[in-house]
Amino acid sequence: MEHFTAEEIIAWAQDRFGRQLALSTSFQPAGMAVLDMAARRGGPFRVFTLDTGRLPEETHQMMETVRRRYGIEVEVVMPDAAEVEAMVRQHGSNLFYRSVALRTLCCQVRKVRPLERKLKEFKAWMAGMRRDQAGSRAGIPKVDSSSEPVKIHPLADWTRAQVDDYLKRHSVPVHPLYAKGYASIGCEPCTRPAGADEEERAGRWWWEQGAAKECGIHFEPDGTSRRAVDVLLGRILKPEEPNREYA
Residue pLDDT, tens place only, 209-218: 776 656 555 5
The reported pLDDT for the residue numbered 55 is: 96
Checking if the pLDDT of 246 tops 90, the result is no
What pLDDT shows up at residue 154? 96
User: What secondary structure does DSSP assign to the chain, as a single string?
Assistant: -TTS-HHHHHHHHHHHHGGGEEEE--S-HHHHHHHHHHHHHT---EEEEE--S---HHHHHHHHHHHHHH---EEEE---HHHHHHHHHHH-TTGGGT-HHHHHHHHIIIIIHHHHHHHTT-SEEE----TTS-GGGTT--SEETTSSSEEE-TTTT--HHHHHHHHHHTT----GGGGGT-SS--SGGGB----TTS-TTTTBSTT-SS--S--SSSS---HHHHHHHHHHHHHHHSTTS------
Task: Spell out the domains of the chain, with CATH numbers in brackets.
Answer: 6-237 (3.40.50.620)
CA 197 to chain centre: 23
At 58-109, the pLDDT tens digits run 999 999 999 999 999 999 999 999 999 999 999 999 999 999 889 999 999 9
Residues annotated as catalytic are 215
Mean pLDDT of 42-65: 95
Q: For residue 132, what pLDDT band results from cuts at 50, 70 and 90?
A: confident
Taking the model in full, what pTM does it have?
0.82
How high is the pLDDT of residue 228?
66
Higher pLDDT, residue 31 or 136: 31
Q: Residue 233: what pLDDT?
A: 76
For residues 184-193, give the mean pLDDT.
92
Mean pLDDT of 158-185: 94
Q: Give the per-residue pLDDT at 198.
A: 78
Cα separation, 136 vs 23, whole angstroms: 21
Cα distance between residue 102 and residue 16, in whole Å: 40
